[in-house]
């Protein structure tokens, strides 16, 4: 990992490591397939640059560290910031109290606008009120569809998790699923629970929820395998995040099950699996769009007084389905890590 974080401690290890790497490169240990060399350089989406005065926007989310989904949200926000001549301050904390402090921090910095996710709206109520009192416009994104209006936010960009779940359930009916396992990677997460509940609402068959330990992939794999063994009648595994779908495919193989896999959310490895037919479809809430629109929305408000959704209706970014029929087109963008 970061060898510079412990340089004086081990005089030899880093030297040996670098020397070994160098020696191995010279000795012809390079890979003839895959790797960085095969990756094609691809520029991010760009639509010129605004000439409006420089403004500062804070994006404060409830991201857990190292989650691919939130990385895409942030990329969308950064793209909008680059285009709109905005300085973007990104911060995140899954703990609601800490997230409130980060919003306070943004208020103290006197930013020109704040975009927040409302995973735990009650905890953020006070601090969002303060922002509004000091004249800072606040927009919502991702989570908080049922609360953004109560908190007097300007506008909201996201996916209704229940609506997405319901669309998912209908799709499962179309593909003829009978019994579905809904895999939740984080016990007690409101949005994830809404997804599974939404699926159960429209799906004609039975939905079995299953909690797994999302921070430990081998454990996720074993647990899904165990569940498929326990109930052989499960014919569809539904995961609520892209990395877990890829693991679920392995579990299905391990359990010798005939179940198919479908998922919420996308990433670039998932695209390959959809192409290969390992994963049937994914419902995409377009996280890039959420980040982009939230920042762009603040810019539009400041420079032209616009409200997306008229301040009455949320702007929905999902659910969009990705399956074999449209995966090639979306795959191009996913390869850049922006879908």
Binding residues for other proteins (CB under 8 A): 1-3, 5-6, 9-10, 13-14, 16-17, 20-21, 24-25, 29-39, 64-68, 70-71, 184, 187, 209-211, 213, 215-219, 221-223, 225-227, 229-231, 243, 246-247, 250, 254-256, 267, 269, 272, 337
Nearer to other proteins, 6 or 201 (CB): 6
* Residue positions counted in the chain: 339
Cβ 50 to other proteins, closest distance in Å? 24
190 φ, ψ to 5°?
A: -60, -50
Nearer to other proteins, 149 or 268 (CB): 268
What is the distance, to the nearest Å, from the Cα of residue 128 to the centroid of all Cα atoms in its chain? 23
Cβ 43 to other proteins, closest distance in Å? 12
Query: By C-alpha distance, which of 277, 274, 289, 276 is closest to 321?
Result: 274
Cβ 29 to other proteins, closest distance in Å? 4
Joined together, the tokens standing for residue 291 give 């980040």
Joined together, the tokens standing for residue 155 give 């506008």
Nearer to other proteins, 152 or 187 (CB): 187
Nearer to other proteins, 90 or 157 (CB): 90
Cβ 308 to other proteins, closest distance in Å? 28
- Could you give the 3-state DSSP secondary structure of residue 112? coil
Write the Ramachandran bin of 43: left for phi over 0, alpha for psi from -120 to 50, otherwise beta. beta
Cβ 91 to other proteins, closest distance in Å? 14
| CA separation for the pair 94, 130 (Å, rounded) | 21
Angle at 200 between CA 198 and CA 202, to 5 degrees: 75
Nearer to other proteins, 66 or 135 (CB): 66
């Amino acid at each position: 990992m970061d060898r510079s974080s412990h340089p004086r401690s081990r005089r030899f290890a880093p030297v040996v490591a670098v020397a070994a790497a160098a020696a191995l490169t010279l000795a012809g240990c390079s890979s003839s397939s895959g790797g960085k060399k095969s990756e094609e350089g691809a520029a991010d989406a760009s639509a010129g640059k605004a000439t409006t005065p420089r403004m500062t926007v804070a994006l404060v989310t409830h991201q857990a560290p190292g989650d691919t989904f939130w990385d895409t949200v942030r990329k969308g926000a950064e793209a909008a910031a680059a285009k709109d001549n905005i300085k973007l301050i990104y911060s995140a904390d899954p703990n609601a109290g800490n997230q409130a402090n980060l919003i306070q921090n943004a208020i103290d910095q006197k930013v020109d606008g704040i975009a927040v996710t409302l995973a735990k709206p009650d905890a953020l109520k006070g601090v969002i009120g303060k922002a509004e009192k000091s004249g800072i416009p606040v927009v919502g994104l991702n989570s908080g569809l049922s609360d953004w209006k109560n908190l007097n936010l300007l506008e909201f960009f996201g996916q209704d998790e229940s609506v997405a779940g319901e669309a998912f359930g209908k799709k499962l009916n179309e593909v003829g699923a009978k019994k579905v396992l809904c895999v939740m990677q984080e016990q007690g997460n409101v949005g994830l629970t809404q997804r599974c509940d939404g699926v159960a609402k429209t799906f004609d068959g039975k939905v079995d929820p299953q909690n797994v330990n999302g921070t430990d992939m081998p454990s996720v794999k074993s647990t899904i395998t165990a569940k498929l063994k326990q109930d052989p009648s499960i014919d569809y595994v539904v995961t609520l995040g892209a990395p877990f779908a890829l693991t679920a495919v392995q579990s299905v193989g391990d359990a010798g099950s005939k179940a198919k896999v479908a998922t919420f959310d996308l990433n670039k490895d998932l695209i390959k699996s959809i192409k290969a037919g390992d994963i049937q479809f994914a419902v995409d809430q377009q996280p890039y769009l959420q980040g982009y629109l939230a920042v762009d929305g603040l810019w539009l408000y400041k420079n032209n007084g616009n409200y997306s959704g008229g301040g009455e209706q949320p702007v929905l970014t999902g659910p969009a389905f990705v399956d074999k029929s449209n995966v090639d087109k979306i795959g191009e963008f996913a390869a850049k890590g922006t879908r």
